[in-house]
Amino acid sequence: MGKIITFGEIMLRLAPEGCYRFVQADSYGATYGGGEANVAVSLANFGMDAAFVTKLPKHEIGQAAVNRLREFGVDTGLIVRGGNRVGIYFLEKGASQRPSKVIYDRANSAIAEAGRKDFDWKGIFDGACWFHFTGITPALSDGAAAVTQDACKAAKEAGVTVSCDLNYRKNLWPREKAGTVMGGLMQYVDLCIANEEDASDVFGIRAEGTDVSSGKISRAGYEQVARALSDRFGFKQVAITLRESISANDNNWAAMLYSGGAAYYSKKYAVHIVDRVGGGDSFAAGLIYGLLNKMGFQESLEFAVAASCLKHSIEGDFNHVSVDEAQKLAGGDASGRVQR
């Protein structure tokens, strides 16, 4: 099995302790995270050969991000060094009916200012079997979008499977531009991953009988969305995470995988949330792991949902979960009893 390549931005995450609001905080905990980096860490924790590609400054903050990835066995040898800034995001954790809040400070980060000449994609994909990116990366700048397109083209030329998590972020770009740019990238994608809102926000494909604000989810509506996405872009598979939001602390969590006209549904978990950031990334990593290890569609889906269910119980962006832990939960051991 070859190397798994992920490409995107790793950021410094600054968050008040517990559920303190920004206006209350007099100190912030500092960790690192970011969509594609989170996927690489999960896959490395699962024992896979995962590499993260980005551009980071040569100074100590950039090096700290590299060091953090190395702790988990992620290959950082393909990271380009240069630029002046590491992107930052501030996270205020929600509670009960108060939602979490994210404020970005990532303009002019090293990866946002990266150019096409910074990356040797032919060399990067030598020996690779999978490439993963998200809709966050091309949203960073026109330059980042061009680099992402180069990566996708090179991946397909190298015979590498490509997955994309749509991950629409309204604070980074408007829906119209997202639809145009992401629409141009979808021709290279084999596996498309989305949540309840992404297909609607990016491509105007809406699930009937669904209201994410009230937590109402329609299975038939999401089968329709997956079918429409597959028909429009020719995806081999479409995965949609199904989050029923009861409050900021409590969600029901499940997912669907659509392939060849057949829809597979996972079991549903009632999740009491410790930290939901990175939940979708842990799902993507679990699905990639399952498909690469030929688990089959249903088993791959169950593994991915179990891994992401467990991520919701872990502080920080990264999913510190093993294959064995995810498989036990997927197999039905959801008691949460002390392991002695």
CATH no. for residue 171? 3.40.1190.20
> Is residue 43 assigned to a domain?
yes
Split into its structural domains, the chain has a count of: 1
> Is residue 336 assigned to a domain?
no
Q: For position 193, what pLDDT does the model report? A: 97
Q: Which pairs count as long-range contacts for 30-33, CB under 8 Å and 24+ apart, including other chains?
A: 31/68, 31/316, 31/317, 32/64, 32/65, 32/68, 32/69, 32/317, 33/277, 33/278, 33/316, 33/317, 33/318
**Quick one: which of 177, 109, 118 has its CA closest to 150?**
118
Residues, the chain, total? 340
Report which secondary-structure segment, H or E, holds 5. strand 3-7
Joined tokens for residue 115? 């150019």
Residue tagged 């690469």 (tokens): 292
Helices of type H across 258-330: 279-292, 297-311, 323-330
Backbone φ and ψ of 149, nearest 5°: -65, -45
**Quick one: which of 277, 274, 289, 278 has its CA closest to 323?**
289
Q: Is 227:257 a contact under the CB 8 Å cutoff?
A: no
> Is residue 337 assigned to a domain?
no
> Is residue 335 assigned to a domain?
no
* pLDDT single digits (tens) 300-310: 999 999 999 99
* pLDDT single digits (tens) 18-57: 999 999 999 999 999 999 999 999 999 999 999 999 999 9
Q: For position 211, what pLDDT does the model report? A: 61
**Quick one: which of 157, 99, 109 has its CA closest to 136?**
109
CA dist 207 and 190 (Å) reads 21
Segments forming the whole domain that contains residue 315 = 3-330
The parts of the chain modelled with pLDDT lower than 50 are: none
Q: For position 332, what pLDDT does the model report? A: 86
Q: Name the burial class of residue 234, with classes exposed (0-12), middle (13-18) and buried (19+) by CB atoms within 10 angstroms of its CB.
A: exposed
> Is residue 339 assigned to a domain?
no
**DSSP designation for 293:** T
> Is residue 27 assigned to a domain?
yes
Q: What number of other Cβ atoms are within 10 A of residue 298's Cβ?
A: 13
> Is residue 340 assigned to a domain?
no
Hey, which residues are catalytic here?
A: 281
Report which secondary-structure segment, H or E, holds 247. none
Whole-Å CA distances, 232 to 42, 238, 261, 279: 30, 12, 14, 27
Q: For position 102, what pLDDT does the model report? A: 93
Joined tokens for residue 275? 């930290």
> Is residue 40 assigned to a domain?
yes
Joined tokens for residue 269? 């978990």
Could you write out the three-class secondary structure of 12-26?
EEEECCCCCCCCCCC
Q: For position 340, what pLDDT does the model report? A: 63
